[in-house]
């Protein structure tokens, strides 16, 4: 199960209802943060994310609305007596900027913080999944991230029962691709089939780019910035952002299952106009709200 929690969904500046950008992805009990805007740790408290379970933080770029929350978060983890290392991933060349956020007040950070400069490609391997970085197009060096679960084999319960496969025989069958049962050799493909792993893509801040389409192909969930509506598409281009309609075009080209609009300008007190514009192009679109949760294969929370 993969749970996605939207901690902050505004762009550039917060509003009364929207915090600054941060998304928590929880997989097998561990949490990865994608961006860490100001106030992210308080939002985690509000929305039931265990701060102590954060394994890694992935920063898209070094604009303040996406990274300033790191300063307070690493301090809170120290106050909570963390001993486990914390990995922070940033675009290559930005490492000193994140280090400065951590050290500006000489706070005692008594656990290892490892700052990793990333380029496009696999940047993190977890148990059962990988995280990849891909290039975006913004006013500074920026990367999007995808989290892809490993493909896995699903056994046919009835067939396994019929052949007498049980207990440790499953692991043996997975390892050797076949197993001897009595006088018969049973192949893995006779009693199991491959299930494609789930995939989430996080793309902000950016103009529409082919790399997002390529990385998002057939993804279960695309989280894409939608800073502006079509009336401000010229402004979006000038500031190297995307409109809701442009995000929808990306989703359509990539054939994703669901699009979530994210990083809306604070001028949109009601983001329905952005959702409407996107849905004309890609029907399965929703606007992110702070506290919204998506369990892949399940239902959205409030």
Which residues are known to be catalytic? 65
Handedness of CA 133, 135, 139, 140 (dihedral sign): positive
Q: How many CB atoms lie within 10 A of CB 148?
A: 19
Q: What is the 3-state secondary structure (H, E, C) of 218-243?
A: CCCEEEEECCECHHHHHHHHHCCCCE
| Beta strands at 30-34 and 86-91: parallel, antiparallel or unpaired | unpaired
Task: With beta carbons less than 8 A apart as the criterion, state whether 191 and 227 touch.
Answer: no
Residue 252 is given by DSSP the state H
Hey, what are 118's tokens?
A: 């990333």
Helix locations, 198-289, DSSP H: 210-216, 233-238, 244-254, 272-279
Q: Residue 61 contacts by C-beta under 8 Å, 6 or more apart in sequence?
A: 67, 91, 94, 136, 138, 140, 141, 142, 143, 205
């Amino acid at each position: 199960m993969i749970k996605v929690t939207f901690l902050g969904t505004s762009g550039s500046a917060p509003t009364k209802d929207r915090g600054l950008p941060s998304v928590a992805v929880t997989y097998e009990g561990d949490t990865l943060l994608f961006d860490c805007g100001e106030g992210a740790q308080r939002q985690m408290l509000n929305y039931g994310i265990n701060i102590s379970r954060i394994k890694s933080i992935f920063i898209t770029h070094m604009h303040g609305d996406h990274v300033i929350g790191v300063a307070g978060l690493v301090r809170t983890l120290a106050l909570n007596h963390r001993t486990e290392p914390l990995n922070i991933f940033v675009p290559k060349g930005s490492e000193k900027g994140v280090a400065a956020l951590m050290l500006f007040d000489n706070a005692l950070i008594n656990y290892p913080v490892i700052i990793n400069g990333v380029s496009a490609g696999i940047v993190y391997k977890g148990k059962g999944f990988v995280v990849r970085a891909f290039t975006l197009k913004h006013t500074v060096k920026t990367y999007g991230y995808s989290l892809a679960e490993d493909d896995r084999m699903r056994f046919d319960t009835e067939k396994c029962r019929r052949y007498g496969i049980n207990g440790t025989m499953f692991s043996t069958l997975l390892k050797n691709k076949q197993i001897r049962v009595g006088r018969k050799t049973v192949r893995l493909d006779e009693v199991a089939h491959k299930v494609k792993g789930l995939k989430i893509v996080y793309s902000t801040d950016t103009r529409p780019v082919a790399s997002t389409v390529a990385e998002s192909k057939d993804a279960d969930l695309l989280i894409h910035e939608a800073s502006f509506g079509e009336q401000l598409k010229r402004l979006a281009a000038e500031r190297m952002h995307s409109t809701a309609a442009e995000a929808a075009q990306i989703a359509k080209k990539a054939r994703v299952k669901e699009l979530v609009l994210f990083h809306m300008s604070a001028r949109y007190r009601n983001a329905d106009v952005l959702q409407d514009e996107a849905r004309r192009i890609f029907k399965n679109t929703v606007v992110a709200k702070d506290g919204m949760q998506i369990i892949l294969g399940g239902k959205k929370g409030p």
